[in-house]
Chain A
Amino acid sequence: MIDWRNLSADWLDARKLASNPPNLRNAFVIALLAILALLPIYSALTGNYFLVTLFTRILILALAAVSLNLIMGFGGMVSFGHAAYLGIGGYVVGILAKEGINSGFVQWPLALIVSGLFALGVGALCLRTRGVYFIMITLAFAQMVYYVAIGLDRYGGDDGLTINKRSQFIDAVNLSNKTVFYYVCFALLLAVVYLVWRLVNSRFGLVIQGARSNDRRMRAIGFPTFRYKLVCFVIAGVLCGLSGVLLANHTSFISPAMMQWTRSGDLIVMAVLGGMGSVFGPVVGAVAFLLLEEVLSSVTEYSGIILGPMLLGVVLFARGGIDGILKDHSRG
């Protein structure tokens, strides 16, 4: 039923790109990557530094959306609490910074480990349920983390905490420099997309996708799908934790608002808007969604009147998201 082998693989496959005639979909991705790569140069030429700030944020949230899509798009695990990892990654950085530990060599690995452990615990409990129950139990755990953060009086409680220094690495990589930080985020996003793509097309990824379409059959064949799904859930958590680390460094500020439940909703929207069927789709979705938000909020104070029905429209008429539309055009 599900075509495993062709699913999404060609988006980043250089060999295929060389052998196939260029199509709209590939051209779009290459154009987008080129724009993203050249953006800081353009911004330096025009003197508009906000572009770099805006797109750094887009890249970071795109990374989170890619990680969500690994479990949602390929594993069929719709997590409504993915923003919790953004918060966990961010809070580890913030708390360490507050306690005087600014070294990125300590902050970053620790943040990823904590995110992973949290995902392991939550996943072990959540994966016993399915469907709407899974959506709601992931939301429940995210809400718990949210309220824990509010209760952290020493680290600002509801008001959040300002991070005075970005993570310190070697002198050559100075994250306080906006351009350097932008390229670090860009490189990490590309690395994560590549990693997820390799993962999805590996034997592991095929088992995950098989379990999505028919869990019982996969178990009957002899795959312990629970363990596979759990590992997948943990990987997604770690990757989203990385996104949280970057986000905390980007805004130099952490607060419980980073992980409000509507943020988890936003991440789902990004993934679906871009197209859940492909690894790169969520990146396109994040760019489109966040730019749209920026434009609408500057045009009208009633953005929901436009954004809401549009979202419904995407669900009803464009289920593959932007990726699906491009794919259709590429075939025709």
Chain B
Amino acid sequence: MKRIVLVACAALALAMSPAAAQQKTIKIGFVSTFSGPVAAIGNDMRNSFELALDHLGRKLGGLPVEVIYEDDQIKPEVGVQKIQKLIESDKVDFIVGIIWSNVLLASLKPVIDSKTFMIVTNAGASQLAGEQCSPYVFSTSWNNDQTPQAIGLYMNQKNVKTAFLIGPNYAAGKDMLEGVAATFKGQIVGRELTRWPDQLDFSAELSKAAAAKPDAIFAFYPGGAGIQFITQYVQKGLKDQIPLYTAFTIDELSLPRLKDLAVGIPGAQQWVNDLPNEANKKYVADYKAKYKLSPSFYGSQTYDAALLIDSGLRATKGDMTNKDALRKALEKADFKSVRGNFKFGPNHIPIQNFYLQAAVKEGDDFRLKTVATIVENDQDKHVSKCKMPN
């Protein structure tokens, strides 16, 4: 019992510690997933953010930084609560992170109501690009349907006539399939949404896809589900029969698990680790040196977020009080992104290139490499629905 009382007191003390007054410290609340099976994504994002801070001398806009990391456990409700805590108790200046569309959608209201700046570094829900765009919310990633639109264009180039689309049954999954359908000119012979996130086995769907006899299959499965899907696709012997096109399914986190199975399967991405710009070379080399791992696109987007905040604060000379000035400064996106070209559309979603990437084997190592540029300076199609206040 005593222990529980103690813990309760500790909790109160923790929750009540007053926000340091008159600080000249920039406080960042970083929300991602650090527990459960997808913790690898959260770790990659955190590593990249820390690396960016190292590169910036642990300062943003010349001011010392304090970062508070919070775990959303992939649950919208937990994510909202953490964000409320960061805003109301820690009184952070920026919220950074967010992997999942549903966590993002749940969190938008408290963020916008409190006029806290938020840099979304992965989730690409189309509402954010459209009706729910906000002066305070920026994205360093993409809108969900942009990447699959690029792969749809590539499928046209490869002369694919018929395609079977498959993805998980949640917002991003639906957006992805819509995205391919928007640019793919051939016929879509089947479209399947599977249970998310707990489907164990894709045998029924793969049999269905094989029975439809398409020229190609398109799949979107992030994280562990992607590894499962590709493994089962290969085991079914489909790799030699029906080519697979992917979005967000093969990345640096899944490639070391998939190895040979992934070789030769194309995907689209706005960033690949071998993009030949100086910022990227430095990022990838230092990341590998520091963490003994390859960074993924999740990390690259988060690295950019730190640079973005730094650029904004440098322009306002560290002034957090004039929100309009800071917003204007952030909109300029005056920094060297690891993906090369980077500028914001009026809805605060990047306008950027999308590349074709493929998994290759070099010696005993597997890595992703850029094959071609599919589209240049692509802008999402929801921007017209965004009525951004001035």
Chain A positions near chain B (C-beta within 8 angstroms): 42, 46-51, 53-54, 57, 150, 156-160, 162, 164, 251-253, 255, 257-258, 260, 287-288, 291-292, 294-295, 297-298, 301, 322, 325-326, 329
Could you give 22 example pairs across A and B, Cβ below 8 Å?
A46-B18, A49-B88, A50-B15, A50-B84, A50-B88, A53-B81, A150-B169, A157-B170, A158-B171, A159-B170, A160-B102, A164-B109, A251-B77, A251-B81, A253-B106, A255-B77, A257-B77, A260-B75, A288-B7, A292-B7, A295-B7, A298-B14
From 88 to 109 in chain B, residues with beta carbon under 8 angstroms from any chain A beta carbon are 88-89, 101-102, 105-106, 108-109
A42 to B125, CA, bound (A): 38
Q: Which residues of A contact B11 (CB under 8 A)?
A: 291-292, 294-295
Q: Which residues of A contact B89 (CB under 8 A)?
A: 48-51
Q: Which residues of A contact B105 (CB under 8 A)?
A: 156, 159-160, 162, 253
Q: Which residues of B contact A298 (CB under 8 A)?
A: 14
Interface check B286, CB cutoff 8 A: no
Contact assessment for B14 and A322 in the assembled complex, using a CB-CB cutoff below 8 Å: no
Interface check B20, CB cutoff 8 A: no
With A251-B81, A257-B76 already in contact, 14 other A-B pairs whose C-beta atoms are closer than 8 Å:
A48-B15, A51-B89, A53-B84, A157-B169, A159-B101, A159-B170, A162-B106, A164-B109, A253-B105, A253-B106, A255-B106, A291-B11, A292-B4, A298-B14
A150 to B194, CA, bound (A): 12
Interface check B287, CB cutoff 8 A: no
Q: Which residues of A contact B170 (CB under 8 A)?
A: 157-159
Residue of B nearest to A161 (CB): B105
Contact assessment for B102 and A325 in the assembled complex, using a CB-CB cutoff below 8 Å: no
Interface check B8, CB cutoff 8 A: yes
Q: Which residues of A contact B12 (CB under 8 A)?
A: 291
**Chain A contact residues: over half helix, strand or loop, or mixed?**
helix
**Looking at the complex, which one of B1, B39, B77, B85 makes contact with A253 (CB distance below 8 Å)?**
B77
**Looking at the complex, which one of A159, A301, A325 makes contact with B71 (CB distance below 8 Å)?**
A301
Interface check B80, CB cutoff 8 A: yes
Interface check B291, CB cutoff 8 A: no
Contact assessment for A322 and B4 in the assembled complex, using a CB-CB cutoff below 8 Å: yes
Given contacts A255-B77, A295-B7, A295-B11, contact A326 B1 (CB under 8 A): yes
A56 to B360, CA, bound (A): 53
A260 to B197, CA, bound (A): 12
Given contacts A159-B101, A255-B77, A287-B8, contact A48 B171 (CB under 8 A): no
Q: Which residues of B contact A164 (CB under 8 A)?
A: 109
Interface check B34, CB cutoff 8 A: yes
Given contacts A162-B109, A295-B14, contact A251 B80 (CB under 8 A): yes
Given contacts A291-B7, A297-B71, contact A158 B14 (CB under 8 A): no
Q: How large is the interface on B (under 10, 10 to 19, 20 to 34, 35 or more residues)?
A: 35 or more
Interface check B388, CB cutoff 8 A: no
Residue of B nearest to A326 (CB): B1
**Looking at the complex, which one of B1, B15, B35, B81 makes contact with A51 (CB distance below 8 Å)?**
B15
A292 to B77, CA, bound (A): 17
Per-residue A-contact encoding for B37-79, CB less than 8 Å = 1, 0 else: 0010000000000000000000000000000000100011100
Interface check B16, CB cutoff 8 A: yes
Residue of B nearest to A291 (CB): B11
> Distance in Å from the Cβ of A41 to the closest Cβ of chain B?
13
Contact assessment for A159 and B171 in the assembled complex, using a CB-CB cutoff below 8 Å: yes
A132 to B16, CA, bound (A): 43
Interface check B234, CB cutoff 8 A: no
Interface check B372, CB cutoff 8 A: no
Q: Which residues of B contact A301 (CB under 8 A)?
A: 34-35, 39, 71
A157 to B76, CA, bound (A): 13
> Distance in Å from the Cβ of A288 to the closest Cβ of chain B?
5
> Distance in Å from the Cβ of B145 to the closest Cβ of chain A?
15
> Distance in Å from the Cβ of A90 to the closest Cβ of chain B?
10
> Distance in Å from the Cβ of A2 to the closest Cβ of chain B?
25
Residue of B nearest to A51 (CB): B15
> Distance in Å from the Cβ of B15 to the closest Cβ of chain A?
5
Q: Which residues of A contact B106 (CB under 8 A)?
A: 160, 162, 251, 253, 255
> Distance in Å from the Cβ of A307 to the closest Cβ of chain B?
11
A50 to B19, CA, bound (A): 12
Contact assessment for B8 and A252 in the assembled complex, using a CB-CB cutoff below 8 Å: no
> Distance in Å from the Cβ of B83 to the closest Cβ of chain A?
10
A51 to B14, CA, bound (A): 10
Q: Which residues of A contact B10 (CB under 8 A)?
A: 295
Residue of B nearest to A247 (CB): B77
A14 to B355, CA, bound (A): 72
Q: Which residues of A contact B19 (CB under 8 A)?
A: 47-48
A288 to B2, CA, bound (A): 12
Q: Which residues of B contact A258 (CB under 8 A)?
A: 77
A48 to B17, CA, bound (A): 8
> Distance in Å from the Cβ of A289 to the closest Cβ of chain B?
10
Given contacts A53-B88, A160-B102, contact A253 B76 (CB under 8 A): yes
